[in-house]
């Protein structure tokens, strides 16, 4: 393990490394987006190269598709794969019910479609992502560019009607211009501080014209793998209620650290 890796990167790495143990030859695998998911793609690529693991990957972003190809993973589209055995992805926050906020990397739409089309979703995260109540991380929603200011006003109105106190809504920018997602949409970030009823909010948001999808993932994630900077990983399964602790040895090859770009 190179010395320059921070404890947070080590935590992300061990969570990712443990997660790829769940992947078996023949599986169709949803590949998440973000820095933690990028570790998973690298670890998976290592298994493909070293063990000849035969899998098909369905990436959730153009970034992930590019990295997966670089790592030697055979990549296809969701329409080609149709249904997936497993999706492994990061998250911005998760709570005790494994409800998630996702979309910090602006890929929430493809991420939700891919995770929902999978038998199982595993979230990999460093311990700092665990929260008592969702909402400290701004909730991303994907909206279409046409009439986006009207959609934003409707979102704000809806938050008022739901008596949400903190409700600053901002358009995500990329320099001087609005950030444009892989699906050519915009992202609004909802600064809510806390979300008292994520299930209701997720439903209501998707009723607003112009809103394509929101970053609340409810009843989608089955397992969370929490990484710690000392190499410990906790595997928590919401369906069985089990929780186990493992220790991951830092024994990555040079290949895995060749690209720290994500
Ligand atoms: O939802 C996501 C991208 O849309 C990411 O999974 C989420 O933002 C976590 O990213 P990271 O692993 O870099 O902290």
ipTM above 0.85, yes or no: yes
pLDDT digits (tens, 9 = 90+) for 187-228: 999 999 999 999 999 999 999 999 999 999 999 999 999 999
pLDDT digits (tens, 9 = 90+) for 131-190: 999 999 999 999 999 999 999 999 999 999 998 888 899 999 999 999 999 999 999 999
Q: Could you tell me if the CB of 59 is within 6 A of ligand 1?
A: no
What's the pLDDT band for 253 if we cut at 50, 70, 90?
low
User: Which of 4, 46, 80, 111 does the annotation list as catalytic?
Assistant: 111
Q: Could you tell me if the CB of 60 is within 6 A of ligand 1?
A: no
Task: List, as residue ranges, the binding site for substrate.
Answer: 33-36, 89-92, 102-105, 129
Query: CATH number of the domain at 7-130+219-257, please?
Result: 3.40.50.1360
163: left (phi over 0), alpha (psi -120 to 50) or beta: left
User: Which one is the CATH code of 139-212: 3.40.91.10, 3.30.70.260, 3.40.309.10, 3.40.190.10?
Assistant: 3.30.70.260
Tokens linked to 164: 């949400």
pLDDT score recorded for residue 261: 44
3-state DSSP helix/strand/coil percent for the chain, to nearest 5?
30, 25, 40
**All structural domains of the chain with their residue ranges:** 7-130+219-257, 139-212
Tokens linked to 165: 């106190």
Distance (Å) from CA 261 to ligand 1 centroid: 15
- Do residues 225 and 15 lie in contact, with contact meaning Cβ atoms separated by under 8 Å? yes
Active site residue 157: no
pTM of this prediction? Answer: 0.95
Residue nearest to atom 3 of ligand 1 (CA): 105
pLDDT score recorded for residue 167: 84
- Do residues 90 and 63 lie in contact, with contact meaning Cβ atoms separated by under 8 Å? no
């Amino acid at each position: 393990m190179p010395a320059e890796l921070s404890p947070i990167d080590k935590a992300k790495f061990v969570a990712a490394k443990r997660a790829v143990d769940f992947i078996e030859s023949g599986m169709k695998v949803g590949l998440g987006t973000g820095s933690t998911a990028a570790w998973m793609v690298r670890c998976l690529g290592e298994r493909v190269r070293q063990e000849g693991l035969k899998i098909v990957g369905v990436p959730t972003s153009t970034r992930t598709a590019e990295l997966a190809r670089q790592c030697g993973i055979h990549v296809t589209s969701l329409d080609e794969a149709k249904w997936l055995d497993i999706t492994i992805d990061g998250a911005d926050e998760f709570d005790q019910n494994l409800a998630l906020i996702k979309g910090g990397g602006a890929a929430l739409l493809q991420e939700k479609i891919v995770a929902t089309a999978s038998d199982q979703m595993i979230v990999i995260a460093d311990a700092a992502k665990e929260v008592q109540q969702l909402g400290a991380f701004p909730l991303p929603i994907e909206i279409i560019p046409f009439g986006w200011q009207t959609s934003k006003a409707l979102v704000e109105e809806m938050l008022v009607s739901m008596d949400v106190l903190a409700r600053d809504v901002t358009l995500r920018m990329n320099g001087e211009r609005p950030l444009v997602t892989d699906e050519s949409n915009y992202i609004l970030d909802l600064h809510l501080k806390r979300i008292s009823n994520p299930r209701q909010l997720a439903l209501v948001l998707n009723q607003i014209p112009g809103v394509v999808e929101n970053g609340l993932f409810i009843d989608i994630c089955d397992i969370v793998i929490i990484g710690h900077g000392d190499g410990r990983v906790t595997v928590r399964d919401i369906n069985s209620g089990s929780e186990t602790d493992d220790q991951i040895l830092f024994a990555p090859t040079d290949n895995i650290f060749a690209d720290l770009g994500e």
